[in-house]
Amino acid sequence: MRTLWIVSGGIEALPGIRRAKKMGLYVVVSDRDPDAPGFQEADDRVVVDTYDVGGTVDVAKKYHRSVRPIDGVMCIASDVPLTVAAVAEELGLPGIPVETARMAMDKLAMKEHFVESGIPVPWFSPVESPAHLEDIVRKRGLPLVLKPVDSRGARGVLRLIPGVDLHWAYHYSRTYSPTGRVMVEEFLEGQQISTESVILNGHTFTPGFSDRNYEYLERFAPYIIENGGQQPSGLSEDEMHSVSLLAENAGRNLGVKRGTVKGDIVLTGDGPRVIEMATRLSGGWFATDQIPLATGVDMVGIAIKIALGDEVTEEELRVNGRKGVAIRYFFPEPGRVVSIKGKERSSCVPWIHRLGFFVKPGDIVEPVTDHTKRAGFVITEGRTSQEAVKRAEEVIDSIHIETVPV
Ligand SMILES: Nc1ncnc2c1ncn2[C@@H]1O[C@H](COP(=O)(O)OP(=O)(O)OP(=O)(O)O)[C@@H](O)[C@H]1O
Ligand SMILES: [Mg+2]
pLDDT in tens, 153-184: 999 999 999 999 999 999 999 999 999 999 99
Burial degree of 66 (CB within 10 A; 0-12, 13-18, 19+): exposed
Say if residue 321's pLDDT is above 80.
Answer: no
- The yes/no answer on whether domain 189-322 falls in CATH 3.30.470.20 is yes
| Fold: same for 189-322 and 326-404 | yes
Say if residue 378's pLDDT is above 90.
Answer: yes
Which residues are near ligand 1 (CB < 6 Å)?
Answer: 122, 145, 147, 151-155, 157, 185-188, 192, 224, 226, 264, 266, 275-276, 371
Q: Supply the mean pLDDT for the chain.
A: 97
Sign of CA dihedral 188, 190, 191, 195: negative
Burial degree of 311 (CB within 10 A; 0-12, 13-18, 19+): exposed
Ligand 1: atom nearest CA of 188 is: 3
Ligand 1: atom nearest CA of 122 is: 1
- CATH class of the region 123-186: alpha beta
Protein residue with least CA distance to atom 16, ligand 1: 154
- Single-letter residue type at 41: E
- Listed range (206-210, 342-346, 397-401, 402-406) with the worst mean pLDDT: 342-346
- CATH class of the region 326-404: alpha beta
Q: How far is the centre of ligand 1, averaged over its atoms, from the C-alpha of 321 (Å)?
A: 30
d(CA 384, CA 232): 8
pLDDT in tens, 14-25: 999 999 999 999
Query: Region 267-275: what's the mean pLDDT?
Result: 98
Q: How far is the centre of ligand 2, averaged over its atoms, from the C-alpha of 153 (Å)?
A: 7
Task: Let me know: does 179 contact 137? Beta carbons within 8 Å.
Answer: no
Q: Where are the domains of the chain?
A: 3-93, 123-186, 189-322, 326-404
Pairing of strands 352-357, 335-341: unpaired
- For the entire predicted model, the pTM comes to 0.97
Ligand 1: atom nearest CA of 224 is: 12
Task: Let me know: does 267 contact 190? Beta carbons within 8 Å.
Answer: yes
CATH number attached to the domain at 3-93? 3.40.50.20
Pairing of strands 26-31, 3-7: parallel
Q: Which ligand is nearest to the CA of 223?
A: 1
Q: How far is the centre of ligand 1, averaged over its atoms, from the C-alpha of 154 (Å)?
A: 6
